A and B are shown apart, each in its own frame.
Chain A
């Protein structure tokens, strides 16, 4: 067999991983004062270049096999790296979404005006919290740039995850993006004990779930003698080894559902979202979820598509539990970041409706929802990072009282994001929910949609509660204030707000895009 590497199709992934290596070298050889501008340029340039390649590949004139394209659909559609990676319409859309979100999140991570001591990361993560060393390094204004190589590797892994076309590539991609996230999660400047605890929990549970994924892949391999999705799909049709296949599907589902944060694999979500540095939470809640849903869709549509009658009941249960438990627990929270984390669990349930439909409409509506939710989520956590008092971020709900009177602009934009999360018309959240619910009804999941609508109503309550708290209560005397950020965060929040509004009032171009993206190739 001839081994081939399709460099153009793989360019986005290669660019990000190569910049990651470069970034490590910058960290090693460039003097401290120059590192930050160089790293930042490297990160932003590589993301822009990778995005340009995604656009070029997606609009290439009939680059792939004319039979696959049917002469109708534009753009590259090919199996790259000897069938290990599938660059196709949905894959490229997801890569594009991840790159957009990574760009905006990189601006948040680079912000240095919000915290008077520097950025959101510990001056030296090796120092003990509360020690004399830590005080000295902080007083001398030490800032680390080590997050940037980690960030680049993470984005590279995220780009590979949803386009991998066999279980080995998918497992490696899973670890490539997870390991940097575990590390960055432990590096917060303030509340370092919480941050380290979040990293420990994330790591232990993440490693646990990826072991499930791997063992599931081993069982599928034992039953079908291949790990390639297309071969697995064909082999499953004629296989009689249900004793291996059904547990295999279940265990792979555990690994993937953990990454998207669906109930009952959601326990890490609130702790990790609360404990991590807030800019990282913004990135993680959006980009990781998009990539993980991309992978989930590909595995369950391509590899397990023929077994849908076996896995659908399981997904039904997971979707209902995610929507109901996510919404109900969010109501009881008193911490802003935890509340948003549970709301993210509920949104996972909504997005699963699109997965369950197993149709072209289900696929395209899921892609739209991911774009809409991703930007709203980045924006919401960006604003959470701005509300601070002397000890750092003020995340307790009671501290947000009366914020609308002190900072009407920020409070209004925050209210816009909350309305989008609740799914109020004229925001991106409504369009996304509408598309997903329609696809689910067409796919025969009407009872699920009823549960989803009820859960949305419950969810609307706790979003509205925050809005009421901000605008219709008196601010506490020594309450927190909204810090004026630098242009970086302003641009990030502005972009997220623009996407949230535009996808609500004029969603048609993006809807056309996700519909034209077509189906996964086999």
Chain B
């Protein structure tokens, strides 16, 4: 199977992630969509590593997984704090600051 198809799949997953961030209202779902974008990038790295015959992409995939895990820790901490304060994880309701 042509490895380029995996690049296309990665682009589709990334677009789904972007759509989720822009459209969904629950902070957790938005956050999941961001993770989907990171994983799409991972898939692109691995597919490109196969395509180009280099190892960099595979190594990067591991780094990205670690970074994503760290981001989950910080992100969930912030979202849980907001949820405890407001009893809601909706990002639309966090709107005290506007023009």
Q: Is B77 an interface residue, CB under 8 A from the partner?
A: yes
**A357 touches B (CB below 8 Å):** no
Cβ contact of B74, chosen from A179, A217, A226, cutoff 8 A? A179
Q: Are B34 and A207 in contact (CB under 8 A)?
A: yes
Within 8 A of B (CB), among A197-216: 197-201, 203-204, 207-208, 211-212, 214-215
Which residues, 132 to 183 on A, are CB-close (under 8 Å) to B?
Answer: 168, 171-172, 175, 179, 182-183
B82 touches A207 (CB 8 A): no
- Known A197-B94, A207-B71; contact A222-B34, beta-carbon cutoff 8 A: no
Q: Is A115 an interface residue (CB 8 A)?
A: no
Is B1 part of the contact surface with A, judged by Cβ < 8 Å? Answer: no
Contact A175 B70 (CB under 8 A): yes
Which residues 54-75 in B have Cβ within 8 Å of A in the complex?
Answer: 54, 56-57, 59-60, 63-64, 67, 70-71, 74-75
Other-chain contact of A203, B64, B67, B78 (Cβ < 8 Å): B78
Within 8 A of A (CB), among B30-81: 30-31, 34, 37-38, 40-41, 44-45, 47-49, 51-54, 56-57, 59-60, 63-64, 67, 70-71, 74-75, 77-79, 81
Bound-complex Cα distance A204 to B31 (A): 7
Q: How far is the CA of A275 from the CA of B53 in the complex (A)?
A: 48
Q: Check if B91 is an interface residue, CB within 8 A of chain A.
A: yes
Minimum C-beta distance from B77 to chain A (A): 7
How far apart sit A196 and B63, CA to CA, in the bound complex (Å)?
29
Neighbouring B residues of A217 by C-beta, 8 Å: 41, 60
A274 touches B97 (CB 8 A): yes
In angstroms, Cα B74 to Cα A373, docked, is 30
- Asked whether, in the complex, the Cβ of A215 is within 8 Å of the Cβ of B78, the reply is no
Chain B residue numbers with a CB within 8 Å of A201 are 94
Interfacial chain A residues near B70, Cβ < 8 Å: 175, 179
Listed by A's residue number, 24 A-B pairs whose Cβ atoms lie within 8 Å are A168-B56, A168-B59, A168-B60, A179-B74, A193-B85, A193-B96, A196-B85, A197-B94, A200-B78, A200-B82, A207-B31, A208-B34, A211-B34, A215-B10, A218-B45, A221-B44, A221-B52, A221-B57, A222-B47, A225-B48, A225-B51, A225-B56, A271-B97, A274-B97
A56 at the interface (CB under 8 A from B): no
Interface residues of chain B, those whose CB is within 8 Å of chain A, are 7, 10, 14, 17, 21, 27, 30-31, 34, 37-38, 40-41, 44-45, 47-49, 51-54, 56-57, 59-60, 63-64, 67, 70-71, 74-75, 77-79, 81-82, 84-86, 91, 94-97, 99
Query: A338 — which chain B residues lie within 8 A by C-beta?
Result: 97
Q: Is the CB of B41 within 8 A of A211?
A: yes
Pair B97/A215 contact, Cβ less than 8 Å: no
Among A125, A179, A200, the most chain B Cβ lie within 10 Å of the Cβ of A200
Chain A residue contacts of B38, Cβ below 8 A: 211, 214
User: What's the least CB distance linking A375 to chain B, in Å?
Assistant: 27
The verdict on A332 contacting chain B, using a C-beta distance below 8 Å, is yes
Closest 7 CB pairs of A and B: A225-B52, A222-B48, A211-B37, A218-B44, A214-B41, A215-B41, A197-B94
Contact of B41 (CB < 8 Å), options: A129, A218, A225, A270: A218
Q: How far is the CA of A226 from the CA of B10 in the complex (A)?
A: 18
Contact A203 B75 (CB under 8 A): yes
- Nearest to A182 among chain B residues (CB) is B74
A411 within 8 A of B: no
Q: A219 in the interface, Cβ–Cβ < 8 Å?
A: yes
Q: Collect the chain A residues with CB atoms within 8 Å of residue B96's CB.
A: 193-194, 197
A21 within 8 A of B: no
Name B81's closest neighbour in chain A (CB-CB): A196
Other than A199-B81, A200-B27, give 20 A-B pairs with Cβ distance below 8 A. Answer: A128-B85, A129-B85, A183-B74, A196-B94, A200-B94, A204-B27, A204-B31, A207-B31, A208-B37, A215-B37, A217-B41, A218-B44, A219-B44, A221-B45, A221-B52, A221-B60, A222-B44, A226-B54, A270-B97, A329-B99
